[in-house]
Amino acid sequence: MTDLFSPIKLGDIALSNRIVMSSLTRNRAGAGNAPTDLVAEYYGQRSSAGLILTEASPICPEGHGYPRTPGIHSREQIEGWKKVTKAVHDAGGKIAIQLWHVGRISHPDLQPNGALPVAPSAIRPEGQAITYSGMKDYVTPRALETIEIKALAGTYAKAAENAMEAGFDGIEVHAGNGYLLDQFLRSSTNRRTDEYGGSRENRARFLLEVLDSVCSKIGNGKVGIRLSPVTVFNDISDEDPQGTFEYVVNEINRFDLAFLDLLQGTGGAPQDQWLPFDYDRLRAIYKGNLILNNGYDYDSAAREVASGKADAIAFGRLLLANPDLVERFRRGASLNAPDYERLYSGEEKGYTDYPFLAA
């Protein structure tokens, strides 16, 4: 029987177990939004996971929407990430970077020259941005020109190339959680009338062009994708999520990607609050390796892998608080609780100071 501790190959990436670290924003980047030695220590501590997916990492200056998120678009950032990949590889782990563009989930304070954030359509999200000077209402973004969308697919590929230079084993295209690519996919945020809006075929076009561009640059076996069909995070929705995402998954089959990382429901929300969606149908449509995510513990994760519902399981909070989660699972040991006060601040506190099991 397949268990969480059995190895698996996701495209070109060979994992020693099926316990994946989910992408988690931690806001500890240093000067120039570059990863520091502390960031390298944090990921290095977690390298017994079969695969680490890094925190979401902007592909260009316009892709930033939060303070101190590490990018993958400058020399300084590439050099910073080299320390991270080295720490993980020295400890025998694997690591892929999550490529991010926040789209409208930003604020002029966080944009080059105080410009408006960009999005498929000029629709303001409800809520507030976290800026360097406190919370500020989101603004109405500027709708991208058609020609800019085509150029952005190339920006993703350049970031993927930067990731290879930084030593990553792969990349994950972040197409979930109400950020730019999801804003194109879902009907509530995409009112375009060109070939990138309207029908689900048109709403999926940008994502498919990004995958094409990234796969041509670094090879499909190093590329994964994150989708979150029904998350309500960042004020987003779709009039027919089942239809939209069955279409998307059918189309991404042709790329033969390393994995699909599927966030069920809304990140962090308990299962009884998830909007309805038939994940088994996506599993049946998708031909590649599937990582399921959101709220799993050892027993529920082991069940999904044993039954074949998933090939691997991603853990966020559990790996955040338990750098040696794999060993704790093996031993059936007790788990540290996350320090929720220090998720997004605190430097080393609540970051690299979670205790390991005694040897």
- C-beta closer to ligand PHB: residue 105 or 215: 105
Please tell me the distance from the alpha carbon of residue 265 to that of residue 31, in angstroms, as a whole number: 35
Please tell me the distance from the alpha carbon of residue 228 to that of residue 231, in angstroms, as a whole number: 6
CB of 224 to ligand PHB, least distance (A): 14
CB of 226 to ligand PHB, least distance (A): 7
Q: Which of 66, 138, 179, 196 is catalytic?
A: 179
- C-beta closer to ligand PHB: residue 259 or 329: 259
- C-beta closer to ligand PHB: residue 180 or 326: 180
Residue whose entry in the numeric block shows the structure tokens 């080059």: 112
Footprint of ligand PHB on this chain (CB under 6 A)?
Answer: 25, 56, 66, 177, 267
CB of 145 to ligand PHB, least distance (A): 26
- C-beta closer to ligand PHB: residue 245 or 298: 245
Concerning whether 179 is annotated as a catalytic residue, the answer is yes
- C-beta closer to ligand PHB: residue 55 or 169: 55
CB-CB contact of 13 with 56 (8 Å) = no
CB of 92 to ligand PHB, least distance (A): 27
CB of 63 to ligand PHB, least distance (A): 11
CA-nearest of 293, 295, 297, 69 to 176 is 293
Residue type, 265: G
Please tell me the distance from the alpha carbon of residue 23 to that of residue 54, in angstroms, as a whole number: 5
CB of 267 to ligand PHB, least distance (A): 6
Distant-in-sequence, close-in-space partners of 208: CB < 8 Å, separation ≥ 6: 251, 252
- C-beta closer to ligand PHB: residue 253 or 273: 273
| Residues noted as catalytic | 179
